[in-house]
Structure 1
């Protein structure tokens, strides 16, 4: 009997071991399938292209002519002769200051001039008479010299009286406050009945010429040095005929309709900021640019004949603040550190770390890790063109639809939505 039970136990062990091996084999198959699955990503193939390089610099609008209307005589304002916020002409009457005291001073100066002119005639006649008598020794030489001196003093008194009359006329004219330039006047800083002072130079209004404006921008010396090296090494070539044409962007990012020109770039570095000042001039026929307004100015730098560009959303930031890209090589995703340059045509220039023909992941990199197998598909640029830089930079879940070039609306997240069901189903099967 014992001999008959022994084979049955062995058979049980064999059956149990076979079951365990079968279950282990079944459990390994899903893991192998999940590891071999390729994640779909959208890529762009980088090719060199001729690109004009520019830099955007912050700037402030300044009026070309900025005339502060100030009191040049002391008195009471009797009239305001302009409409606040209107356009005024050179020489247009703006304020009237009580002229009565200055009219009286003018009359007094005129009377003093007449008195001096009367005295000079008497002194001149006496000097002429003595000039004849001195020849006949009828008068002494001393008397003759005194007469000539009195005649000269009388003429000097006439000149002083004329100057006093001229000053009185000027002060009387200053009671009529006029605009020194053509431009737009702001609000009145004084009211009728207010006392204005010449000693304190009381400001009464401000007139600014706005048909053309300046935009002052600052640029660091390090950026200028980088640009000079790029031009010297042949990386960039000078664009155009040397006349720098600049473009302004308003506060909301809208391009300003009229192009401007760069007037000069400063040669003195501000020791506090390490920057140099640059000034551009823009036509402003509709007075859209107002003094003090913040704008951004696109200043051309040159032309890169072999620029490598990628969409801005493809550039990643590492923990230490450096830039990197995810590149598909041999069917797998690889993180490549790169050096970025300026922004051109809504794309980021890559100066180091990338070569022509590389496939750069633009969408779907959130779902992959370095070394993971991927399935690259060409990236459709219409979503990026519609959303622009703002859509690419918008937080996940808060991206807004933006009008595309043909008027349609495209959501930046749509390119990734199609891949989500496949990923979820794959995750379920792996579980």
Structure 2
């Protein structure tokens, strides 16, 4: 309505009404005549007001008809167009680090520890002396064994000479055949006694050498379980110390037998392709989520399922030149299991779930109308989901602007570069990349004062 015109109209009507009738000068004026004249004046006023209102309304209608209503702008949403791509499928499995070589050092002879010749926790070389056992008794046994060898050799020379003489005498019948046989047997026995004495001497020397306890392998040495002055016995149950070789390292991790069977079925069906190569690469992440800088190789895959946990054990060999990995650490092993040649990856930010937990996405159809679509997801891979069903290549999925529109609305779809946004977020010093919907939205202006 045209409010100024209506106001003017009523102002006009106020002054357009006829003045009240003048009083009659005649004495024959009656009360009935006065009422009739007043009714005629009221009817005249109403008629005139109706005509003026009708004219004003007609004028307003003509004025309003000349104006056109401004078109309403479409809500803008950011979308990503799905494209088929070759995607490597990885699996993250929990595991523990194991030393490549482990040696528990135990004494092989009994005695008193005189010295400890290493620094606990330091690196030792193979053959390096670790402990010294009191060797006095062992040296005495070595000397006794050496004397026994000398005695046996002397007896062996005497009996050998007798046997040679008897061999000449028996030819001329100077001695009996029995005496000859006994001399020959004595010579052979003396020779055996020499061998036994030499063996005992070698044993005494070995025991004497064992009083010097050396490192069987090279690596890092642990704490010492004994101190100088302690009595140790040969082959005791308690180890004196432990040496571990840390470069390279083993990483043992487990995989569910159910997941293994599912992967085999998908490979047989042709949905996924087998990863080629003799040695499958294995990446390691620490317990805090940081990545280990060196990549390992899968060395062993178990063939026996644990009857308690239902898992298979796998082992990887990982280089450890910097000594970051230590035995017993909890890590995550990331290794490729298959290759999806025609994978559709859906951004995680596009997925919403209903009250039943089913996954849904908003799809911009060809006519730019939003449609809610239920999808089935396979597994999460980074910032995306591997799609199992529900979408096709070339469809546009909404990733930004969910609050601006609802299913059934017509929208303006603007392509969003998620990779550029992720790169910007990883560099705090740079301003964030706005999505297409946000970038093209008009800037708010301050109200005029």
1:79 aligns with 2:115: yes
Alignment of 1:180-195 (within 5 A): 180-195=216-231
Contact persistence 2:75–2:405 (CA under 8 A): no
Alignment of 1:219-234 (within 5 A): 219-234=255-270
Q: Which residue of 2 aligns with 1:273?
A: 309
Contact persistence 1:116–1:157 (CA under 8 A): yes
Q: Which residue of 2 aligns with 1:381?
A: 418
SS in 1 for 2:165: helix
1:404 aligned residue (419, 425, 429): 425
Residues 312-359 of structure 1, C-alpha deviation per residue, up to 9 Å, x if partnerless? 344456666x6513233653452514131352x432211233322344
What's the CA shift for 1:91? 0.8
Higher mean alpha-carbon deviation, 164-173 vs 232-241, is at 232-241
Contact persistence 1:113–1:165 (CA under 8 A): yes
Alpha-carbon distance in 1 for matches of 2:341, 2:186: 87
Q: Which residue of 1 aligns with 2:389?
A: 352
Q: Which residue of 2 aligns with 1:105?
A: 141
Q: Which residue of 2 aligns with 1:398?
A: none
Q: Which residue of 1 aligns with 2:103?
A: 67
1:263 aligns with 2:299: yes
Higher mean alpha-carbon deviation, 245-254 vs 87-96, is at 245-254
What's the Cα RMSD here? 3.3
Contact persistence 2:425–2:432 (CA under 8 A): no
Alpha-carbon distance in 2 for matches of 1:278, 1:62: 12
Q: Which structure 2 residue ranges, 5 or more long, are not aligned? A: 1-71, 439-449
Alpha-carbon distance in 2 for matches of 1:318, 1:150: 102
SS in 1 for 2:255: strand
Q: Which residue of 2 aligns with 1:400?
A: none
What's the CA shift for 1:125? 1.6
Alpha-carbon distance in 2 for matches of 1:318, 1:155: 96
Contact persistence 1:52–1:302 (CA under 8 A): yes
1:294 aligned residue (326, 330, 350): 330
Q: Which residue of 2 aligns with 1:57?
A: 93
Q: Which residue of 1 aligns with 2:4?
A: none
SS in 1 for 2:172: coil
Alpha-carbon distance in 1 for matches of 2:156, 2:302: 60
Taking a change above 3 Å as real, the CA distance of residues 46 and 111 of structure 1, as seen in their structure-2 partners, is: same
Contact persistence 1:78–1:98 (CA under 8 A): yes
**What TM-score do you get using the length of structure 2 for normalisation?**
0.71
Higher mean alpha-carbon deviation, 139-148 vs 74-83, is at 139-148
Alignment of 1:151-166 (within 5 A): 151-166=187-202
SS in 1 for 2:293: coil
1:312 aligned residue (328, 348, 373): 348
1:118 aligns with 2:150: no
Alpha-carbon distance in 2 for matches of 1:204, 1:374: 79
Alpha-carbon distance in 2 for matches of 1:306, 1:82: 60
Residues 345-399 of structure 1, C-alpha deviation per residue, up to 9 Å, x if partnerless? 432211233322344454676x69995758566556369737xxxxxxxxxxxxx
Q: How many residue pairs align between the two structures?
A: 363
